[in-house]
Amino acid sequence: QGALARYDERPWSSTLSYINHESSGYLSSDNQSLLYNLNYFQTGTSVSGTYNHNTATTNDGAEDTTRDMYNLNFIKKLEQVRFNSRWTHDEHDQDESYVGAPDSSSSLQEDELYGEIDVELPHNFDTVLTYLNSDRDSTYIRETGTLKSYTESEYYNFRLHHRLYKSLNSAFSAGHQ
């Protein structure tokens, strides 16, 4: 079962969809998904955003899962410069309750930020500078205790590229993580 709605009036477009899927039997499940995206495109500029919400119940309610995902993208192209950025966020929660087993729950939250600047230089040179920041926070809870984890990483990269001929390319790249 589901529904879909679309809007397309340039420079905007949008889609909203809903899906509900149920199954019965030994491994019964009930899954629901809501997806919405919004896009804007004009010469040299592109912006898009997406939201996705999912819920799932399996094994007659023994497992419940909820997930929310967000995504934003931006691209801007000028004469010699192109800028690209992306942000994503993901939240994931799960609860389990089986007969004869201890109850447990887990949650995960991830964020990622990415940016890139690409510049065309004179004499067949171009350069790209990229940045990536990501973090992940997770928690697992059971009667026996709680386990928490957090990681964060940053990455920078610089690349200088030269095209002498169509078949002869050279590049220098340096990065830090």
Percentage of the chain beyond pLDDT 70 is 96
Give the list of residues 6+ apart from residue 43 with CB closer than 8 angstroms, or none. Answer: none
Q: Structure pTM? A: 0.80
Find tokens 């040299």 and name the residue. Answer: 44
Find tokens 């309750």 and name the residue. Answer: 97
Confidence tier at 26 by pLDDT (50, 70, 90): low
pLDDT in tens, 37-80: 999 999 999 999 999 999 888 876 678 889 999 999 999 999 99
Give the list of residues 6+ apart from residue 141 with CB closer than 8 angstroms, or none. Answer: 104, 105, 106, 147
Phi, psi of 80, rounded to the nearest 5 degrees: -115, 0
| β 12-23/145-165 pair status | unpaired
Give the burial class of 23: count Cβ atoms within 10 A of its Cβ; 0-12 exposed, 13-18 middle, 19 or more buried. Answer: exposed
The per-residue pLDDT of the chain, averaged, comes to: 89
